[in-house]
Amino acid sequence: MKKIAVLTSGGDAPGMNAAIRAVVRKAHYHKIDVVGVYYGYEGLYNGKFEPLDLGSVGGIIQRGGTMLYSARFPEFKEEEIQNKAIENLRNQGIDGLVVIGGDGSYRGAMALTEKGFPCVGIPGTIDNDIPGTEYTIGFDTALNTAVEAIDKIRDTATSHENTFIVEVMGRNAGDIALWTGLAAGAETVLIPEEEFEIEDIVARLERSAARGKRHSIIIVAEGVMPGHKLGKILEERTGVQIRVSVLGHMQRGGAPSARDRVLAGRLGAKAVELLLEGKGGRAVGIHNHAVVDYDLKEAYENKHKADVSLYTLSKELSI
């Protein structure tokens, strides 16, 4: 292998830049050239390639977003588009590709691998929802961003004795909501993986009110229902005014945490090693603190499971 390419795809995540840097530096360490593909799979199809030398990834380890930009490109499912992408890669003398993204991005990487072009996937998404790895790049930063925001909301909720609903990201996965809830001491956490009853939330609010507690924070993952909708339901049911804050895309931005930078460095280097060993169709991840690799298909054919013990714990601690 003489030349590899790297792209970022899907929703961006803090730490993607640190992962790009790790891929470029590790490859150059082994005297392999690297090409950056801009705009994810769309750029792969349109031939948006630029060489990445050592200097091109200087000063990005601490930057949020992705210097390679990202795009959602559902058309990449089409075979003709995949063939064109491979043709573009081969024309540049590239013989391996690192894809940094979520499970949708992994499907594209597997399709190319099955067509004879080796790809390795690095988990980059704030949602922490890729089966086979305990952590994804960006999750820790997003979690800290959400916790910081909720700490601030709690200050004003306490001063004014308000009940707040805070909607966090996570269309299919409750990890951000769950971890944020535990870290910020939220009274209630709602995640897509666990059913809930409105009456339980009402009972909790009433129990706290009876104890003299006049403020409350309810965290809802966007995949459960929009925070404003939940707010309306609870207002109608309790007669209490509910404030709603939607944290939104702020959770995807900002400088990556130290943990995300280190994770990105470890996983980026491993991805290059796998390509050098001629191993395509692999995903890299973390299991029991160690870097692991596994079949890319495992990442998208299995369903991510939130840690139910954390859900139970959050209920116990916010009794």
The annotated binding site for ADP is made up of 21-25, 154, 185-187, 211, 213-215
Mark whether 127 is an active-site residue: yes
Q: How far is the CB of 136 from ligand F6P (least distance, A)?
A: 10
Q: Which of residues 246-265 bind ligand F6P (CB under 6 A)?
A: 252
Reading phi first (left if > 0) and then psi (alpha if -120 to 50, else beta), residue 98 is in: beta
> Which one of 52, 119, 126, 267 is in contact with ligand F6P (CB under 6 A)?
126
| Residue type, position 236, single letter | E
Q: How far is the CB of 11 from ligand F6P (least distance, A)?
A: 3
18 close to 264: Cβ distance less than 8 angstroms:
yes
Q: Which of residues 32-91 bind ligand F6P (CB under 6 A)?
A: 72
DSSP-assigned letter for residue 217: E
Number of residues that bind ligand F6P (CB under 6 A): 11
Task: Determine, following the binding rule CB under 6 A, whether residue 171 of this chain makes contact with ligand F6P.
Answer: yes
Q: Which of residues 215-244 bind ligand F6P (CB under 6 A)?
A: 222
For ligand F6P, which is the closer residue by CB, 127 or 293?
127
Q: How far is the CB of 253 from ligand F6P (least distance, A)?
A: 11
SS3 179: helix
Q: Which residue among 12, 33, 127, 293 is the active-site one?
A: 127
Task: Determine, following the binding rule CB under 6 A, whether residue 174 of this chain makes contact with ligand F6P.
Answer: no
CA distances from 163 to 157, 198, 200, 231, 240 (A): 7, 15, 15, 10, 8
CA distance 138 to 25: 20
Sole window of 31-39, 119-127, 261-269, 297-305 interacting with ligand F6P (rule: CB under 6 A): 119-127
- Terminal-residue alpha carbon distance, the chain: 57
- The pair of three-digit structure tokens given for residue 312, joined into one six-digit string: 């139970």
x/- string (CB under 6 A) for ligand F6P, residues 129-168?
----------------------------------------
SS3 164: strand
Using only C-alpha atoms, what is the Rg of the chain?
A: 21
Q: How far is the CB of 226 from ligand F6P (least distance, A)?
A: 12
Q: How far is the CB of 243 from ligand F6P (least distance, A)?
A: 22
For ligand F6P, which is the closer residue by CB, 36 or 174?
174
Cβ contacts of 274 within 8 Å, gap of 6 or more = 120, 280, 282, 284, 293
Q: Count of CB atoms within 10 A of residue 263's CB?
A: 29
For ligand F6P, which is the closer residue by CB, 111 or 126?
126
Task: Determine, following the binding rule CB under 6 A, whether residue 127 of this chain makes contact with ligand F6P.
Answer: yes
**H-type alpha helices, 115-197:** 139-160, 175-184
Q: Which residues bind ligand F6P (CB under 6 A)?
A: 11, 72, 102, 125-127, 169-171, 222, 252
Active site residues: 127
